[in-house]
């Protein structure tokens, strides 16, 4: 919920007027006239009560804030029906406390279910009676098989088995729910098993999971980390690799909150390294030109000395030795001259590569920033869908124009993302009853500077998935996600 200072009259008159009204009066104003100042006054009055109650029951400041947000969203959705049942001077403290209690219990219940599902999956995977494959036969082929997977499947396995993260952490890193993360890990593990089988290693997904969990990661020897840090810092100015490393890190990370700051900082670091390398290459080129000029002068001097040696039928031993020495010196000078030309060409290629890297870094930063704007816009649309569904028997709208009021007339989102960038899917089927169903998607896929295509999908529960397709064809992704979103009808 957004509050604008422009809604308040000069001198604080509107603020004083809001503070003088009861909770019931404020809620009726919001329900009847969509008065954001009235709803904002209710939130300010009871924010401490709701947050404190949530914190006592959950014990986590982050989750307490999430519960408070849920409670006030629920209040906004039910404002119309609730306002009609309150007397003129009624307070909302009791209702908000009960709502906070229910929200906290629901969150705890969801957490227990999630942990139970995760424990069951791990028991199925790790305590199966099937025998584990011989690690000596898997290990030589593991990285080759992992490289054959696409980025999403490989990232899911790396986070789950190589970083030992639970499904909630995997989902957060990939930008999906923990249930979706669990399904993605299972599918990726099956693809890895098939890739190994194609290379002559026969096993099951459960046995492979047990082998990965126990053998995939080995602790680095003590003290090596400190040595790596020192060596990395010492070699930081020796080449342009830092810019390429930054690009790889940006492509692997699902940037959520604070993405803009990371992009700006990374780009600044890249430009600083670029400037430093430019100065270094320029200095090396200048030194090479000076050395080449000196060698050319020496070569000319030696040639003149050879010409000045008088021709004679027979040459004295000392003259003959001097001639041989001069000829050897000329040969060495020619080799050095050729080497300088080669070094100059290498420097030219290095400068060209650094210019390409700089352009790629800027383009990648812009692409990642635009992606985050689209994700944020999709989340705002998802919130509008759920508010609309609350007022319409849990049914979502059939077109985007029906959520005009829920979006407060907004047709463009932050980052110049228009509402017309999205289209609704599963019309007439998507609702609150199917939280994992896709309700809307980005109309046009975007080509990444690093290769492949991306498209943003909005689910009924308000979560957002970013799908990746190497060739721009998202049919397989949509079939897998659309078909599994609705229960199979009884025959």
* Same-domain status, 260 and 205: no
**Residue 234, in any domain of the structure:** no
**Residue 226, in any domain of the structure:** no
Mean pLDDT of the chain: 78
Determine the average pLDDT of the residues in 128-133.
Answer: 49
Of 332, 367, 402, which residue constitutes the final position of a domain?
367
Banded model confidence at residue 77, pLDDT cuts 50, 70, 90: very high
CA distances from 48 to 60, 362, 477 (A): 15, 43, 44
**Residue 330, in any domain of the structure:** yes
Banded model confidence at residue 316, pLDDT cuts 50, 70, 90: low
Least confident among 142-156, 348-362, 377-391:
348-362
Least confident among 11-15, 354-358, 382-386, 476-480:
11-15
Banded model confidence at residue 129, pLDDT cuts 50, 70, 90: very low
Banded model confidence at residue 46, pLDDT cuts 50, 70, 90: very high
CATH number of the domain at 89, please: 1.10.1740.10
Banded model confidence at residue 95, pLDDT cuts 50, 70, 90: very high
Please report the pLDDT score of residue 98 as a whole number. Answer: 93
- The set of residues, in sequence order, having a beta carbon less than 8 Å from that of 375 and lying 6+ positions away, is 175, 456, 464, 466
Least confident among 143-147, 261-265, 424-428:
261-265
* Same-domain status, 391 and 456: yes
Please report the pLDDT score of residue 58 as a whole number. Answer: 85
Question: Number of folded domains in the chain?
Answer: 4
* Same-domain status, 39 and 91: yes
CATH number of the domain at 192, please: 1.10.10.10
Determine the average pLDDT of the residues in 348-368.
Answer: 85
Please report the pLDDT score of residue 227 as a whole number. Answer: 52
* Same-domain status, 210 and 283: no
pLDDT in tens, 48-57: 999 998 999 8
Please report the pLDDT score of residue 150 as a whole number. Answer: 92
Residue 36 pLDDT > 50: yes
* Same-domain status, 209 and 170: yes
**Residue 225, in any domain of the structure:** no
pLDDT in tens, 208-249: 888 888 777 766 655 545 554 554 545 444 454 444 443 343
Q: Which domain holds residue 203?
A: 128-216
pLDDT in tens, 167-185: 888 888 899 988 899 999 9
**Residue 275, in any domain of the structure:** yes
Q: How far apart are CA 441 and CA 455, in angstroms?
A: 7
Of 367, 395, 424, which residue constitutes the final position of a domain?
367
Determine the average pLDDT of the residues in 247-259.
Answer: 38
Compare 128 and 306 and report the one with higher pLDDT.
306
**Residue 232, in any domain of the structure:** no
Q: How far apart are CA 52 and CA 65, in angstroms?
A: 10
Residue 268 pLDDT > 50: no
Of 119, 142, 157, which residue constitutes the final position of a domain?
119
**Residue 491, in any domain of the structure:** no
Compare 370 and 217 and report the one with higher pLDDT.
370
Q: How far apart are CA 87 and CA 195, in angstroms?
A: 67
Spell out a b/e string for 312-330, using b for 16 or more CB atoms within 10 Å of the CB, else e.
eeeeeeeeeeeeeeeeeee
**Residue 237, in any domain of the structure:** no
């Amino acid at each position: 919920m957004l509050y604008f200072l422009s809604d308040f009259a000069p001198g604080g008159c509107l603020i004083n007027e809001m503070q003088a009204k009861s909770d019931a009066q404020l809620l009726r104003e919001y329900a009847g006239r969509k008065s954001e100042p009235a709803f904002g006054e209710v939130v300010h009055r009871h924010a401490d009560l709701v947050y404190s109650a949530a914190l006592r029951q959950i014990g986590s400041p982050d989750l307490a804030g999430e519960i408070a947000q849920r409670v006030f969203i629920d209040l906004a959705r039910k404002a119309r029906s609730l306002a009609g049942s309150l007397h003129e001077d009624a307070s909302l403290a009791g209702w908000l406390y009960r709502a906070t209690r229910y929200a906290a219990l629901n969150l705890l219940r969801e957490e227990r279910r999630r942990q139970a599902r995760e424990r069951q999956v791990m028991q199925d995977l790790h305590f199966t009676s099937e025998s584990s494959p011989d690690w000596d036969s898997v290990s030589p082929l593991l990285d080759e098989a992992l490289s054959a997977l696409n980025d999403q499947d490989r990232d899911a396995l790396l986070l789950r088995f190589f970083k030992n993260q639970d499904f909630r952490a995997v989902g957060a890193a990939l930008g999906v729910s923990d249930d979706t993360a669990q399904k993605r890990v299972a599918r990726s593990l099956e693809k890895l098993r098939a890739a190994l089988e194609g290379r002559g290693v026969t096993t099951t997904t459960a046995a492979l999971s047990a082998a990965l969990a126990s053998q995939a990661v080995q602790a680095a020897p003590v003290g090596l980390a400190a040595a790596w840090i020192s060596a990395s810092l010492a070699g930081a100015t020796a080449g342009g690799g830092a810019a390429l490393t930054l690009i790889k890190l940006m492509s692997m990370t699902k940037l959520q909150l604070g993405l803009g700051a990371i992009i700006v900082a990374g780009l600044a670091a890249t430009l600083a390294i670029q400037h430093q390398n430019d100065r270094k290459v320029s200095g090396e080129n200048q030194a090479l030109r000076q050395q080449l000029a000196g060698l050319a002068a020496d070569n000319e001097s030696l040639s003149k000395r050879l010409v000045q040696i008088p021709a004679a039928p027979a040459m004295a031993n000392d003259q003959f030795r001097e001639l041989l020495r001069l000829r050897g010196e000329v040969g060495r000078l020619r080799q050095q001259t050729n080497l300088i030309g080669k070094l100059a060409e290498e420097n030219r290629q290095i400068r060209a590569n650094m210019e390409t890297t700089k352009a790629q870094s800027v383009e990648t930063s812009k692409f990642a920033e635009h992606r985050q704007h689209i994700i944020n816009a999709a989340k705002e649309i998802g919130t509008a869908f759920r508010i609309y569904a609350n007022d319409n028997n849990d049914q979502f709208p059939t077109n985007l124009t029906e959520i005009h009021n829920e979006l407060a007339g907004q047709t463009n989102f932050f980052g110049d993302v228009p509402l017309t960038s999205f289209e609704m899917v599963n019309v007439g089927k998507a609702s609150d009853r199917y939280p994992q169903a896709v309700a809307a998607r980005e109309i046009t896929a975007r080509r990444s500077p690093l290769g492949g295509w991306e498209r943003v999908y909005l689910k009924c529960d308000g979560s957002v998935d970013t799908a990746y397709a190497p060739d721009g064809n998202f049919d397989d992704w949509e079939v897998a996600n659309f078909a599994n979103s609705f229960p199979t009808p009884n025959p």
